[in-house]
Amino acid sequence: MPQPWIEEVSQPERISITSVNKGALDPINIEDVLKFNTIDTSLYHKETQFRRKNLAVISSAKVEVDELNKFCEENTSVINHDNSSPSSDYGVDKDVRKALSDSRLAHNLTRVKVEILNAVQQKALQIILDGEGILVEAPTGIGKTYAFLIPAIEKALAVKRIRREKNIKTEKPSPTVLVIAPTGNLVRQLFSRCELALGLKDMDDVEPVRDIKIDMLVADYLFNTDECDIAFCTMGKLKATIQENKLCLDYLQTIVLDEADKMIDNLTFGLDVDWVLSHLKQEVMDNLQSCFFSATYQRDNCGSISLTPLQMRMLGEKPWKLVHCPKLTGYITQRVIKVENEGNGFCSPWISKMNVIRKLIDVDLNETECKKEGPYAETITIFCETVGRVAQVATALRLLGYNFKPVCRTLTKKQQEITLNELEFKEIQGIVCTNVMARGIDVSSVKHTIIMEMSSDFDTYKHRIGRVGRDGSGGKATVLIDSVQLMNGQFGNVLEALYCHMEEKELSDWMKEWYKRRNPHECKKEGPYAETITIFCETVGRVAQVATALRLLGYNFKPVCRTLTKKQQEITLNELEFKEIQGIVCTNVMARGIDVSSVKHTIIMEMSSDFDTYKHRIGRVGRDGSGGKATVLIDSVQLMNGQFGNVLEALYCHMEEKELSDWMKEWYKRRNPHGYQ
């Protein structure tokens, strides 16, 4: 039906189309066709290689900072393996020219502004040159690299002279020193630093030291099969080279493990290191000098460094020393920002964090009076947990106009090296990276580390913030935390460790309130609980009796023993970890290997006849590194038991003087009358 407000438009007549079969059609002729086989697909790789060859040389590895050197001198301590201490003046001279026997090496080090050795370096040099084993625990950025690199070069030079005098030749490379690191990037950096010290870089006014040969065992690098005195290697490449029988370890004298906490951990590289040691001759193993360098080590309940079986095997019965330097207070300013969710709860946490990161970057630009496009006075490192998040954040920042680049395992080693070189010389504003940047990478331009995603391992946090202020001038670290993470029980343990690690002035009000709620001073039977308890009994029957009695008295304890299924035990331990119950009553199924960080008190109701079991039982306390307490209950029947007396005497010797009660001292005096006047 026609409508008055619609104007009728005449429709054009449709064209009739019919198909006509004309046989095969000729192909369309297009001029200037792009021929893919003529494209130089290696152009990008050639450009990458060209840029890598023309990287600028870092001539100033570390500037001298009086405050840092003074701190090292006042706080660095040396302890012998028998707990004695050497003299206070132990160590080489702090002047590099006087400390080293090779004048060429000293000249090259002064050329890269390493003129004064700090206390950690002085003492470490002396220990390694003396041929003793060494454990070094010192903060990142303190100069641990030169602490083992300089004596390694000196030792290799001395051994090389002896081998030439005796005309010792080998068919395969036979290194005197092996330096092993967890990542290829770190190995390349150590190798580059060694080239600087030997004067092998393209620099003016250096004296090249060509008496020894250094080489790398890393992926995508051709290993020299003729001669090698110092080998820098990753574990995977080292194992492959040994298996291919391309390396001789008969003349190995020193092995250095950089980032030793990772290298000795059986969950990472510990088993691989053990495999390498098994391929050494017994004579080499007996005389092997082992050197461990790290910012962190595993500690026992008393806060002392706990040696792993691998370390004890490497150190053996030979003398060794510990060099310890604590963290410099205020060297790195730490802060934690609680990121509130935007968009009425529908916004992803990472987008909310991106807005905060953008503000942090703008603040840094304003403080240094720089612009987005550069030039830059300092650089920034942003840490994420996954490669996917790195790609997201780097892309978002570049779209916003910020000059950031990604660094992660999906990039080639050459691409990573180029990016880090650009970061060092402030050609870019910063990088977004995974944990490939967390350890050992030395870029002095970085003054701010932003941790967008916190790791579940607190030691990783300490290594991440250690990327700041590598030139000795310090810097700042910012951690971003969202509400989802605060509700995560496991993350809460990491945040609590961070709370204890920070200084009082660095703690925000919300963080203090959160910690107060998490650790209330007064707890009730029904909870919530600030910490948990483990009660050890000898038999399943006693466990059932005690657990039942405690529950009848209103205490929230549960049993853990072999009569329960693995699933039931797992559920109970999970409740214990998250403090949903006050504690457990258990047999020795809990004595070894079980890691529950909430346990702060172990009560041993029935003492075992094996003293080692006691040590494992109390080891369940303070697994988060905060320590705890252990209580042993002893009755008069046990005191009259001769076999138990031996265990109690071992316990007496194990305890500190201040922990011993009067009755225990009196009992020991009567048991050992000849030991007293």
* Residues 191 and 295 occupy one common structural domain: yes
What's residue 613's pLDDT? 85
Can you give the pLDDT at residue 10?
Answer: 47
Residue 623 and residue 221: Cα distance in Å, rounded? 41
Q: Is residue 98 part of a domain?
A: yes
Whether 52 is in a domain gets the answer no
Q: Which pLDDT value is given to residue 57?
A: 54
pLDDT band at 14 (very low <50, low <70, confident <90, very high): very low
Cα angle: 167, vertex 173, 178; to 5 degrees: 110
| 472 assigned to some structural domain | yes
Residue type, 617: R
What CATH number has the domain bearing residue 446? 3.40.50.300
Residues 163 and 134 placed together within one structural domain of the fold: yes
Do 148 and 289 lie in one domain? The reply is: yes
Domain stops at, among 284, 308, 324: 324
Q: In Å, what is the CA distance from 397 to each residue of 257, 355, 361, 501, 502?
A: 37, 10, 10, 31, 29
Taking the whole predicted model, whether its pTM rises above 0.85 is answered as: no
Same domain (yes/no): 164, 197:
yes
Looking at residue 67, its amino acid is E
Q: 128 and 230 in one domain?
A: yes
Write down which residue in 518, 541, 564 finishes a domain.
Answer: 518
pLDDT digits (tens, 9 = 90+) for 462-481: 888 888 866 556 789 999 99
Instruction: Report the mean per-residue pLDDT for the chain.
Output: 83
Q: Which residue has the tokens 């995974």?
A: 434
CA dist 450 → 89, 463, 505, 519, 639 (Å): 40, 13, 19, 28, 58
Amino acid 416: pLDDT: 87
- SS3 at position 262: helix
Tokens read off for 134: 């060494």
463 and 611 assigned to the same domain: no
501 and 384 fall within a common domain: yes
Percentage, residues of the chain above pLDDT 90: 37
Asked whether residue 257 falls in the same domain as residue 340, the answer is: no
What is the distance between the alpha carbons of residues 55 and 279, in angstroms, rounded to a whole number?
38
Task: Decide which of 186 and 53 is more confident.
Answer: 186
120 and 127 Cβ atoms separated by less than 8 Å? no
Same domain, 501 and 537: no
Number of domain units in the chain: 3
Q: Are residues 568 and 505 in the same domain?
A: no
Average pLDDT of 317-339? 85
Asked if residue 325 has pLDDT above 70, the reply is yes
CB contact at 8 A, 402 and 372: yes
pLDDT of residue 296: 83
In a domain, 77, yes or no: yes
Helix (H) or strand (E) holding 309: helix 309-315
380 in Cβ contact with 364 (< 8 Å)? yes
Q: Is residue 460 part of a domain?
A: yes
- Both tokens of 127, joined, read 């220990």
Split at pLDDT 50, 70, 90, the class of 517 is confident
Same domain, 234 and 267: yes
Q: Are 98 and 209 found together in one domain? A: yes
Q: What is the mean pLDDT of residues 44-65?
A: 53
> In this predicted structure, which of 76-85, 274-283, 343-352, 624-633 has the lowest mean pLDDT?
343-352
Q: Which domain holds residue 445?
A: 332-518
3-state secondary structure (DSSP) of residue 291: strand
Of 407, 364, 371, the C-alpha closest to 387 is: 407
The proportion of the chain whose per-residue pLDDT surpasses 70, expressed as a percent, equals 84
Q: Helices 387-399 & 349-367, crossing angle to 10 degrees?
A: 50
Per the structure block, which two tokens stand in for 47? 């450009």
Of the residues 307, 324, 341, the one at which a domain ends: 324
Q: Is residue 49 part of a domain?
A: no
Q: From residue 214, how far is each of 190, 209, 217, 283 by CA, in Å? A: 11, 11, 10, 24
